[in-house]
Chain A
Amino acid sequence: MHGDLNMKDDAMNAGSSHVLTGRYPELGSEPIPIEPYISPQYFELEKKYLFKKVWIHVGRVEEIPSAGDYFVKQLDACDASVLVVRNRDGAIHAFHNVCSHRMNKMVYTERGSTKKFFCKFHGWAYDLDGRLVGVPDEKCFTGLKREEHGLSPVNLDIWQGFIFVNLDRTPRQSLSDFLRPMYGELEGYPFEKMTSCYSWSAVVNCNWKLALDAFQETYHVSYVHGRSIASALLKSDAGGLRPLDGLCGEYHRRLSIAGNPKSVYGNPNALTSASNGETPGSANRPIGEAALRFGRGGTRFDISQEDLPKAINWTRHPNWAFDINVLFPDFYLSTRPNYYQAYNFRPLTHDKFWFDARVYYPEMTTAGGRFYQEYMKVSLRDVLLEDLSTLEHNQAACATRAKTHMVLQDFEIMVRHQFAVIERMINEGQAKESRH
């Protein structure tokens, strides 16, 4: 069907159906248990040994461009509300969103800009560095030392413009050490140029891992997305939608996926300088075709695959469409030549998560570019409605305990990897505790 592409050696077309399982024998090939998806006790272990120990993505630096700009992130899996603020020197810091006096939540709003933070309970005031700078009726306190009662800091670091926090007072590793073994060569991707962000959110009655699982394999695409974007991905010779390759690290994982260049949605060159100017000629999708045609030349800046860092399209496939990067534990980052998606699957309870879905495009300068962007964005949103459609049924089915284990095929290895990493971290955490 695409024999001219000569890609017989990649995972997508390999005769063996154990390409990735064979590469990572330590992950095993046995069915994995359902219990971690439905157990409140297991979720407590995840909170303790994962979410309160590792770096958690909370947003982009562009969200708070000026001194005094702030946002608040509710992180239930860390039992924390975190205030992220840019100070007068331009540095970004994080604090527990908790007043030092009688523990009221300091900031109620999700985001804003301020010169100082005032507690609404008794009026205590803090500056942008979290220092206590105002105490009404201060003389009524006995020996109050302001310098001992600033906001409690939370460890914060930034990678490629993404802000991460770590609720552990003494993180076991730096953000750089955490990310770079898998994502060092992703550095240099033009994240900062994708400044037009659209987002949606929903509370979904599903375990966060079960939800993330639905986003880290392509096996479901022909079925869940059969009417929408299945035709935008490239079928392998075997007929299925297999990824080009997959990488499993100590914590993180990656998948690389090929697109159908004759589609609009899966066209990796749309609106880039690599575009050959062809329209897909899809008679049954004239609006999509019009979006591509009238959007040409409508972006603020031009990008092409040649400018992208090494880690992008690491198999160098000619029809590469996108890479899925799962930054452990709950941050899904899909990097494409002309835009990227950033989803957080924030756990609320063992069977509920908050889906914070964002897509970042370059700014459009023409109405035609804006039309293309809207077409892509609306298509993505409807595809997400398809992805979300199975999750609550999936969770309810797990909870019946009709089955105790799930079976996985080779290209669902990321589901297995997620389970294995979490098990390892819980076991290591418990072993460390028992030694003390």
Chain B
Amino acid sequence: MNAALETSKGAGLLPEGFENLECASEWSLRTETQRIKHRQESSYAAITEFRDAVLPELPRIFEYLNAKDLRTLSVRDENLLFLTLALAEIAPAVEFYRQAAVIEGFDALRFLPVENFCLRPKR
């Protein structure tokens, strides 16, 4: 489920002070499967736009999130974490391939994560 749907309607999705990242909230996705699919479906321009929005904010994001217990993040804090995980997801696209998908790679949709594996971290 899109994390964006988990917050009450009309409210902001991200913690106070991070309103400037609301424009990137479509990338706030809970699972790797959602994130890889969103990466694959996005244009390269959209991917670099997302990077440009979030990358400069990382020092502020982790100053805020690293002070919290990862196990008990609020929904809004989780949404912010998911934005950073989406940045990790698109890192190979912008730092290895300069395109959304792996160049001449095996189809990512044939090699999906096993999201329900019992040893997989919950977030």
Please determine whether B96 and A60 come into contact, CB atoms closer than 8 angstroms. no
Q: Report chain A residues within 8 Å CB of B37.
A: none
Q: Report chain B residues within 8 Å CB of A364.
A: 70, 121
Instruction: Using A63-B118, A386-B105 as known contacts, say yes or no to A370 and B85 having CB atoms under 8 A apart.
Output: yes
- A367 CA to B88 CA in the complex, in Å? 12
Q: Report chain A residues within 8 Å CB of B96.
A: 227-228, 379, 382
Which residues, 54 to 110 on B, are CB-close (under 8 Å) to A?
Answer: 55, 58-59, 61-62, 65-66, 68, 70, 73, 81, 84-85, 87-89, 91-92, 94-97, 102-106, 108, 110
B interface, over-half SS: helix
Contact pick for A290, options B55, B104, B111, CB 8 Å: B55
Please determine whether B105 and A374 come into contact, CB atoms closer than 8 angstroms. no
Using a CB–CB cutoff of 8 Å, the interface residues on chain B facing chain A are 32, 36, 51, 55, 58-59, 61-62, 65-66, 68, 70, 73, 81, 84-85, 87-89, 91-92, 94-97, 102-106, 108, 110-114, 117-121, 123
Q: Report chain A residues within 8 Å CB of B103.
A: 227
- A370 CA to B65 CA in the complex, in Å? 11
Contact pick for B106, options A298, A369, A370, A385, CB 8 Å: A385
Q: Which 9 A-B pairs have the closest CB atoms?
A: A367-B65, A388-B106, A197-B119, A374-B88, A385-B105, A287-B91, A375-B88, A202-B111, A294-B62
Contact with B along A352-383 (1 / 0, CB 8 A): 00010000100111111111001101110110
- A111 CA to B121 CA in the complex, in Å? 17
A interface, over-half SS: helix
Q: Report chain A residues within 8 Å CB of B114.
A: 199-201
Please determine whether B119 and A63 come into contact, CB atoms closer than 8 angstroms. yes
Q: Is A195 an interface residue (CB 8 A)?
A: yes
Instruction: Using A199-B117, A370-B85, A389-B106 as known contacts, say yes or no to A378 and B92 having CB atoms under 8 A apart.
Output: yes
Contact with B along A199-241 (1 / 0, CB 8 A): 1111110000000000000000000000110000000000000
